[in-house]
Amino acid sequence: MKDEVLAQIDRVMQKRPMYREALSVYREIVVLLEDVAPAIEYAPGDKKVRETKAKEGFPLFSREDLPVDLKATTSLFIRVLDHLSSRKREDREALKRALKRAQTDGQWIERALTAFLARDEATADAMAQEVSLDSTVLKFVTTMALKPSLNTLRGLVSGAIQRGSWEYGYCPLCGSRPDMAYFDEQGKRMLHCELCGFEWNYPRIKCPFCENSDSEELGYFSSQDEEGLRVDFCKKCNAYIKTIDLRVAEAPAPLELENLITLHLDMLAHEQGFTPLAEGHGFSRG
Ligand SMILES: [Zn+2]
Ligand SMILES: [Zn+2]
């Protein structure tokens, strides 16, 4: 599995040299994550209850209640920070401060994880500021540290989720928003969860963020240089989502990687006044 992912990263590096630096960081972290085997406990519970909840739009878990292996996540958090701070980066000192903080204050990592999962950006930003680290870097470390747990969880629960009957724009597993979409071999639109990586079917002419299905207000623009890549936008809520058409895209990579190497499309979307994700449109109990 790891070798396959690494080979894909290498291929993508060739294809998009401008993303070489970002991809090489990503590649090193994939290697770090590989030898972690998180222990996750999940009991599916009553099928009827699960189905009723899903019909009402409740994901299997809320982000705050996701069962993750805290021990594995914490140790990875430190390893990712340690690794990043050993690279020649401008924010090396800040990363070192964060590492020291994480190693000496037992609660710090848990607070960062909790803030991230609860989408408590104020706390997450304040924590990054404490060590003068860019908050997107802290978010990246947190996401990477959680990844093996979430991958394991996804494998455990995917049988308990009925893909066909979920009709919402947020993830049936964790309630997060999609970060990318694709058209499968049949032209069906699938959304990919920004947090847990779960994929689910969603209508093509409907905004996943505000559920608007008025075709007058929905549109897309295509990438000039790459076939099968486009940005679907909604003029009602001003959100957009990048989409890869697997029927025509040349040797597509996993969506997570595609997301990373299509930042030029995000820039184009921003220039046209669209925002990446309509804040607050994921599932929340609020
Ligand atoms: Zn999810
Ligand atoms: Zn919308």
pLDDT in tens, 240-268: 999 999 999 877 888 888 888 888 899 99
Give the gyration radius of the chain's Cα atoms: 19
- The closest ligand to the CA of 278 turns out to be 2
Tell me how far apart the alpha carbons of residues 131 and 118 are, in angstroms, rounded to a whole number: 21
Measured in Å, residue 180 CA sits from the centre of ligand 2 at: 15
Q: Would you state the pLDDT for residue 233?
A: 96
Rounded to two decimals, what is the model's pTM? 0.91
Measured in Å, residue 187 CA sits from the centre of ligand 1 at: 22
- The closest ligand to the CA of 192 turns out to be 1
Mean pLDDT of 113-128: 96
Measured in Å, residue 123 CA sits from the centre of ligand 1 at: 22
In the DSSP assignment, the letter for residue 11 is H
pLDDT in tens, 182-205: 999 999 999 999 999 999 999 999
Q: How far is CA 176 from the centre of its chain?
A: 9
In the DSSP assignment, the letter for residue 261 is T
Tell me how far apart the alpha carbons of residues 98 and 132 are, in angstroms, rounded to a whole number: 9
- Percent of the chain at pLDDT above 90? 65
**Helix, coil or strand: residue 204:** coil
- Contact by Cβ (8 Å): 242, 266: yes
- The closest ligand to the CA of 233 turns out to be 2
Closest C-alpha among 193, 203, 149 to residue 171 = 193
Within 13 Å, how many C-alpha atoms sit on residue 29's CB side?
27
Contacts of 286 (CB under 8 A, 6+ apart): none
- Contact by Cβ (8 Å): 281, 175: no
Closest C-alpha among 228, 267, 225, 252 to residue 12 = 252
pLDDT for 211 beyond 90:
yes
